[in-house]
Structure 1
Amino acid sequence: MFCPKCGSQVNDGDLFCRKCGFKLIYPEGENVYTNSTPFMNTDEMQVQQKPVEIPASRSAPLPKKTIAQEKKSFVDKYFNADGRLNRQPYFIRLLILNVISIAPTLILYATGGPLLVESLNGVLTFFHIILFVLSILLMVGRLHDLNRSGWFSLLIFIPLINIIFFLILLFCRGTRGSNRFGPDPLELYL
């Protein structure tokens, strides 16, 4: 069996592709019911099975993503607190957010000097608040990997504890196997 997204071979019974993490959909069929029985519960519905199209080989062309799908994947990465986020993607995304946070100030300072930076201080503050919210969302995903509630992210507001908390987020391995927030992201790519 092959992954419909990347074309790599997957084992029967896998829920996710080990290469790209795509959730595999098995041919369980669609619920089919008629208008004559509008209030049927799911136990009474008849199920028909339809085959799932799978690429013939690994070299089969993959469907191209549209701009809307690319935007959705970007939004899912940075604006979504659901699921789990292991150490490496957390570190990389946090690093990107920090570079994005520092870059406008440096560019404004280099082109217009400190007076320009001070005159645009309100705009920069609003920009930094947005980036701070994004970093909190990343932190919630990382806490989910540690099988902790996102409310633990409030620990960053407590002096000295925030340093220890940040080190835990960077260096502690997440829960092995599935937890209440989803499957282990490291097992998806084995």
Structure 2
Amino acid sequence: MNAIVSAYRRYTDFAGRSNRRDFWLFLVFSMIAGIVLQQIDHHYNLMMMSGKVGVLAGVFGLLTIIPFLALKVRRLHDTGRSGWWILFQLVPLVGTITLLYFMAQQSQMGGNRYGVAPAA
């Protein structure tokens, strides 16, 4: 729970580092919450855009996109990479797979140019 609150609290912090656990917990939370909200939208007919996106799921997505981008950048920093690697995700399929590989890697031990290692 602390990882999720921390991601929203640090939504403007694109500097520093975030550990692997925080990233994956926030990703799983976001996916589950999005699916649940989409089901609620569908059940109560709160759909917009020709029935493709629900109101609650859409608002949740908008509230989550910036904190998730900041968390991705901090996670890249934790592996010793620049946050600009996030743009590689714009390359279809290859970019997404590469970034998932980067996110799954272990943290650099000790300090690196982006700061000290975050507490586990």
TM-score, length of structure 2 as denominator length: 0.74
- Identity between Structure 1 and Structure 2 (%): 28
CA shift in 2, pair 1:73/1:130, >3 Å:
closer
Are positions 1:117 and 2:27 aligned together? no
Q: Comparing both structures, which one devotes a greater share of its residues to helix?
A: 2
CA shift in 2, pair 1:89/1:72, >3 Å:
closer
Unpaired runs of at least 5, structure 1: 1-70
Give the superposed CA RMSD. 2.8
TM-score, length of structure 1 as denominator length: 0.50
> Does the 8 Å contact 2:42/2:54 carry over to 1?
no
- Name the SS of the counterpart of 1:80 in structure 2: coil
Structure 2 Cα separation of the partners of residues 163 and 73 of structure 1: 21
Are positions 1:81 and 2:14 aligned together? yes
Match 2:80 to one of 119, 123, 147: 147
> Does the 8 Å contact 1:87/1:169 carry over to 2?
no
> Does the 8 Å contact 1:80/1:137 carry over to 2?
yes
- Name the SS of the counterpart of 2:64 in structure 1: helix
Offset at residue 100 of structure 1 (A): 2.7
Structure 1 Cα separation of the partners of residues 6 and 69 of structure 2: 19
Are positions 1:91 and 2:21 aligned together? no
Are positions 1:181 and 2:114 aligned together? yes
Question: How many pairs does the alignment contain?
Answer: 113
In structure 1, the residue matched to 2:65 is: 132
Structure 1 Cα separation of the partners of residues 82 and 70 of structure 2: 12
> Does the 8 Å contact 1:79/1:137 carry over to 2?
yes
In structure 2, the residue matched to 1:107 is: 40
Structure 2 Cα separation of the partners of residues 140 and 75 of structure 1: 15
- Relative contact order, CA 8 A, sep 6+: which one is greater? 2
Unpaired runs of at least 5, structure 2: none
In structure 1, the residue matched to 2:103 is: 170
> Does the 8 Å contact 2:20/2:104 carry over to 1?
yes
